[in-house]
Amino acid sequence: MPRATGGDIFAIVVNYQTPELTISAVEHLRSSELAERRLRVTIVDNNSGDDSVARLADRFSDMDVIASKRNLGFAGGNNLAIEAALNELADDVDRHDTFFLLINSDVNVEREAIATCIAFMETHPAVGVVGPKVVLPDGRLDLACRRGFPTPGRAFWKLTGLAKRFPNNHRFTGYNLTHLDEDTVTEVDAVMGACMLVRLAAVDAVGLLDDTFFMYGEDIDWAYRIKQRGWRVFYVPTARVRHLKGATTRRQSYRMIIEFYRAMWLFHRKHYAGRTIALLNWLVAVGVVTRGIVAIAANAMRPAGAKRVS
């Protein structure tokens, strides 16, 4: 395959024991309308231990399928493909007009979704990250597709349930932003790693995803670092994707619950703990652990087919 010289979109799908979902995700990617741009898809298998690599390599013989020797999590898996792309890029590539597209294996993009995000980036050169409107199978908005950073205050409102109880009160909803119109283009702190478009120049500025985060939080951490370098992040609801949420994690729901709440603490420790008083740090840690225990207990009481992460 010729070296990239600008304008390419490097899409990455990380697979872990979900080859059928990955096939669907890639087929939707390949049906996208992208005008003159070239879409280059890389599939990373996170040491599934099944026949995923053989099936995906056979189905998509024209694509790169990277077989990791161990499960690196979402961040580590994506980093393998990002590093491979960075090594391939031509020296004179237009780094402002080249993009990475992170896509979960359980996400199906609508035909014009990627082009809509790209068009927004083209007309807003200061934007480093764009996320589409992510809808669940029942048509509801996946709240994680537009978020504020989980500051101690926002984490408190979420962990205590007040954000859910008062979804239209901006005082309590600074994390999931439920007080905002879901069909309005909005500048946000972070979008969702399940589907996010990132400008290569922004990646140059901050580096790879932090693989200390195994499954959750790496997208928020990346957005935090990108915004610190002066880039802007936008939610663009005219681009739509469908998220079969939980399909890739339900079988490991207990581990994923632990990873979800671990990520909350990791983010706080990395970005806030150093400038937060010790008592508040302790309260945040206690709150995260307590909420995690409650989530595990609640999950234990659900039928097998209804288990979920949060």
pLDDT tens digits, 122-149: 999 999 999 999 999 999 999 999 999 9
Domain stop point among 201, 225, 248: 248
pLDDT of residue 297: 84
State the total domains in the chain: 2
Q: Tell me the C-alpha distance between 22 and 66, whole Å.
A: 14
CB 267 within 8 A of CB 221: yes
Domain stop point among 210, 230, 248: 248
Of 159 and 4, which is predicted with more confidence?
159
Domain stop point among 200, 216, 248: 248
Is the pLDDT reported for residue 2 higher than 50? no
Is the pLDDT reported for residue 309 higher than 70? no
Confidence band for 304, pLDDT divided at 50, 70 and 90: low
pLDDT of residue 101: 98
203 and 257 share a domain? no
Other CB atoms within 10 Å distance of the CB of residue 290: 12
Is the pLDDT reported for residue 73 higher than 90? yes
Residue 121, domain member (yes or no): yes
CATH number, domain with residue 124:
3.90.550.10
247: helix, strand or coil? coil
Please give the C-alpha separations between residue 36 and each of 8, 65, 187, 260, 270, in angstroms, as whole numbers: 9, 24, 28, 39, 41
Look up residue 107 and give its DSSP letter.
E
- Nearest Cα neighbor of 218 from 270, 285, 182 is 270
Confidence band for 249, pLDDT divided at 50, 70 and 90: low
Instruction: Quote the mean pLDDT of the chain.
Output: 90
Is the pLDDT reported for residue 308 higher than 70? no
Q: Tell me the C-alpha distance between 245 and 254, whole Å.
A: 16
Of 307 and 292, which is predicted with more confidence?
292
297 and 208 share a domain? no
State how beta strands 99-104 and 107-109 pair.
unpaired
How does pLDDT run across 110-126, given as a tens digit for each residue? 999 999 999 999 999 99
115 and 240 share a domain? yes
- pLDDT average, residue stretch 235-263: 80
12: helix, strand or coil? strand
pLDDT above 90 covers what percent of the chain?
69
- Nearest Cα neighbor of 175 from 120, 217, 130 is 217
Is the pLDDT reported for residue 90 higher than 90? no
Domain enclosing residue 211, as ranges = 9-146+182-248
Residue 152, domain member (yes or no): no
Is the pLDDT reported for residue 265 higher than 90? no
- pLDDT average, residue stretch 24-31: 97
Confidence band for 197, pLDDT divided at 50, 70 and 90: very high
191 and 279 share a domain? no
pLDDT of residue 1: 45
Confidence band for 52, pLDDT divided at 50, 70 and 90: very high
Of 76 and 247, which is predicted with more confidence?
76
Residue 174, domain member (yes or no): no
211 and 197 share a domain? yes
Q: What is the DSSP string of 14-48?
A: EESS-HHHHHHHHHHHHT---TTPPEEEEEEE---
172: helix, strand or coil? coil
Confidence band for 74, pLDDT divided at 50, 70 and 90: very high
pLDDT of residue 44: 98
CB 131 within 8 A of CB 241: no
61 and 210 share a domain? yes
The torsion region of residue 7 among left (phi > 0), alpha (psi -120 to 50) and beta comes to left
pLDDT of residue 248: 53
50 and 112 share a domain? yes
Is the pLDDT reported for residue 252 higher than 80? no
- pLDDT average, residue stretch 273-285: 84
Of 284 and 130, which is predicted with more confidence?
130
- pLDDT average, residue stretch 37-57: 96
Is the pLDDT reported for residue 251 higher than 60? no
271 and 201 share a domain? no
